[in-house]
Structure 1
């Protein structure tokens, strides 16, 4: 029964996946930047830690996007420089299950992106195994976002 005085939304349970607060997202964002040591996973470019809430050059990008059922967890995130983040989100860059960079359509990359992407190079991942990208998320990205099939 609906209770009008219930502060949690008339007694309804929050939907899974929509219960994360902005504080949780910011904490996750800072955690990912630290786990990747402020380094772009694709290019290897390293940046100084930024005192601002959001880093000027780096983005934390979901491998399996949340809106497509991906989880908010470190194994589903890459830290990428802004231009690499855009190319990854568009499927112009992806990675194998063993973290090798794949560029399905190199001609689609901008010149500045091509300068920093080496197909076949292993992603720069955290040294702690628990924080590294999970193969099932990379597979989802390859097959669904990049539409890369061998």
Structure 2
């Protein structure tokens, strides 16, 4: 096993759905197989509006052939493991690069390596990036200088065969245990409320209590219990009452975000008064954060009471 980096563009030409799968050409198979049953970072390149850095983690459940394209393979993401960082992490740092292997001997960027769509990363670099991605967890994860590194030895090379020997297996387990303890609800709530500007998508109301806390909740469209991911595309900001109705299938959304009201509600007139006058849900300004049709379709098919 080894940790890796998957490069993903928002406008990817591949059949990617980062929460569930990552498609890649056959030539990357040997490299990708090293990451089975271990964690990867998602990296945004410049293309497609990317910010040049890391935005999420996920665990690879399996690597398998793409049944629809013999020249492609699919990395299956273990359900419930994809998680966006609370803070975006730039690939650069003050004294170089977050991935130590991106640094050439003269200190410049290894322009060839950064073009690799799939590449390995050392445990130490992975830990450092996760620390920055989830800043509130910094006291829980081992820091790079606390991983048993001998100061008299040369810097790790994440691509070398001997690199993993410097990291004790107990530290690898500690990192995985820490990742599993990250409060996913807190991360999910932060991203969803930020995307919707703390406004209920159905009523349009933006209510803030006396303590400055938004009186709106982050709701999953496809529940976590049904393997719905903790991502903004599977989330929507709703007031408490609307959240209750949404979870019970009394309201839903079309793929175009038209608000659907069940014929089984006992007082449809009151519900119609609750809905904003446009009859459509408010959506995040960033199109990539809008509710995904895949999750909306699941809600209509499995929750909505027609």
For normalisation by structure 2, the TM-score amounts to: 0.39
Which position in structure 1 is the counterpart of 2:230? Answer: 72
Which position in structure 2 is the counterpart of 1:23? Answer: 183
Alignment partner of 2:250 out of 92, 112, 130: 92
Q: Structure 1 residue 107 and structure 2 residue 170: aligned?
A: no
Alpha-carbon distance in structure 2 between the residues aligned to 1:95 and 1:136: 12
Q: Contact conserved, 1:50 with 1:56, CA < 8 A, in 2?
A: no
* Structure 1 residue 42: Cα displacement: 0.7
Q: Contact conserved, 1:103 with 1:119, CA < 8 A, in 2?
A: no
Q: Contact conserved, 2:201 with 2:282, CA < 8 A, in 1?
A: yes
Alpha-carbon distance in structure 2 between the residues aligned to 1:73 and 1:26: 12
Q: Contact conserved, 1:99 with 1:123, CA < 8 A, in 2?
A: yes
Unaligned segments of structure 1, at least 5 residues: 1-11
* Structure 1 residue 122: Cα displacement: 1.4
Alpha-carbon distance in structure 2 between the residues aligned to 1:132 and 1:99: 9
Q: Structure 1 residue 122 and structure 2 residue 276: aligned?
A: no
Higher relative CO (Cα under 8 Å, sequence separation at least 6) belongs to 1
Deviations 1:6-60 (Å, cap 9, x if unpaired)?
xxxxxx98974266534343122112111100100111111238867xx562110
Deviations 1:88-123 (Å, cap 9, x if unpaired)?
000000000111000022633587644212597111
Alignment partner of 2:195 out of 31, 35, 39: 35
Query: 13-22 or 67-76: which moved more?
Result: 13-22
Q: Contact conserved, 1:101 with 1:119, CA < 8 A, in 2?
A: no
Which position in structure 2 is the counterpart of 1:61? Answer: 219
Structure in which a larger fraction of residues adopt strand = 2
Which position in structure 1 is the counterpart of 2:49? Answer: none
Query: 18-27 or 72-81: which moved more?
Result: 18-27
Query: 66-75 or 83-92: which moved more?
Result: 66-75
109 and 119 in structure 1: CA distance in 2 versus 1, 3 angstrom threshold: farther
Q: How many residues align?
A: 135
Q: Contact conserved, 1:38 with 1:49, CA < 8 A, in 2?
A: no
Alpha-carbon distance in structure 2 between the residues aligned to 1:95 and 1:133: 9
SS of match in other structure, 1:28: helix
For normalisation by structure 1, the TM-score amounts to: 0.75
Unaligned segments of structure 2, at least 5 residues: 1-36, 39-58, 60-77, 82-178
Q: Contact conserved, 1:84 with 1:113, CA < 8 A, in 2?
A: no
